[in-house]
Amino acid sequence: MASPLLPALLTLTLLLRSGSGSSQWPQWPVQRVPVVWPQQTEERPAPHFLQPAQLEVTSSCGPECHKRAPLPNYWDLRRFLSYETLHSGGRLTETAVAIYGFDTNAFHETPAGRSRSKRQIFGHDGRFSIVGQDFLLNYPFSAAVKLSTGCSGTLVGERHVLTAAHCVHDGKNYVKGAQRLRVGFLKPQQKDATANVTDGRPHKMKFQWIRAKRTHIPKGWIKGTANDIGMDYDYALLELKKAHKRRHMQLGVSPSAKRLPGKRVQFSGFDDDRPGQLVYRFCEAGDETYDLLYQRCDAQPGASGSGVYVRMWNRRRGRWERKVIGIFSGHQWVDLSGTPHEFNVAVRITPLKYAQICYWIKGNYVDCRDG
């Protein structure tokens, strides 16, 4: 009798390894990215670090609620994309930005949602614990990291980690531990390094920690709350004090859900109900707004901040590329016609967010024009 895990494992294999390039395969859209350019940086009073980090954001504002929100104008966007930088010694700065090459008509191009459509039931836990050194230390799983505040993150540069803003800032104040933030990399314990890999015993793993040098958070998160515009900007970028020497993921502008391979998304993180384990999941993408993607991937607190990624064909470069297109934010109870529905929500990497995050990583806009 076939194992009930076989279909899931076959699906996992197909998601991780796609076939050769073809016009029939989902392709990364070719688009030019606007410029988000720093204008002025000012010192701010040192923050207090009092509250523990939220491992999950909850909200009662669902897809239709977000779609009904007023569209931001150019000056709104400049305020939302201005950002704070928390330095490792507790110093805080705020940077104002200007935006070039962005057409606000893009907000009207968001695909129509299907908030009343039938969705996958949460009852069956579809997560996979990734075990074994051969998997944990290999890409893409090796790009997942743990934050000392309890969340997850994804390597997106030689010294950079993408995560959720709420993992270091609750919308009003920086959380306890943000001043001395550390990033954990799973690696084998030293005594297991020479273990006989043929004896069937799994390698014991531990975290190796690297301190964060600075943390960037958009003012759209700090000015808002999880119930309105704030959730649209629930992302942060950490710069490490030293290079991590692992392969990192590339950033990508989020395609519409209907253009995703099989309409599916994937992400890996450190769910707090499976301590010390890396947990992988995939599921079908559901409704979407310009800034948010709704899905029903199984997740527990601790997975927040994980990079949501897909693998698609890059026609211009003639190769398959796996890119982070969103950041897993948290959980929502949404009232649809008087009936509560559950969703998990990810912040989409829009062209503006791509331009901002890429500038934080590269330090220039010339290398950030192709999403």
Based on the residue annotation, tell me whether 304 is a catalytic residue of this protein: yes
Contacts of 198 (CB under 8 A, 6+ apart): none
Active-site residue among 66, 160, 166, 216? Answer: 166
Based on the residue annotation, tell me whether 228 is a catalytic residue of this protein: yes
Contacts of 123 (CB under 8 A, 6+ apart): none
Annotate 81-149 with DSSP letters as a single string: H-EEEEETTS-EEEEEEEEES--GGGGGGPPPP-TTS----TTS---EEE-SHHHHTSTTGGGEEEETT
Active-site residue among 142, 148, 304, 306? Answer: 304
Query: Are residues 131 and 169 in contact, defined by beta-carbon separation less than 8 angstroms?
Result: no
Based on the residue annotation, tell me whether 103 is a catalytic residue of this protein: no
Q: Which amino acid is at 10?
A: L
Query: Are residues 249 and 141 in contact, defined by beta-carbon separation less than 8 angstroms?
Result: no
CA distances, 230 to each of 45, 249, 364 (Å): 22, 25, 26
DSSP state of 352: H
The span from the CA of 255 to the CA of 73, in Å, is 22
Q: What share of the chain is helix, strand, coil (3-state, %, to 5)?
A: 20, 35, 45
CA distances, 367 to each of 55, 141, 146, 278, 358 (Å): 33, 26, 28, 32, 8
Q: What's the Rg (C-alpha) of the chain?
A: 20
The span from the CA of 18 to the CA of 120, in Å, is 24
Active-site residue among 76, 228, 272, 370? Answer: 228
Task: Centre a 10 Å sphere on the Cβ of residue 211 and count the other Cβ atoms it contains.
Answer: 14
Contacts of 190 (CB under 8 A, 6+ apart): none
Annotate 111-122 with DSSP letters as a single string: PPP-TTS----T
Catalytic residues: 166, 228, 304
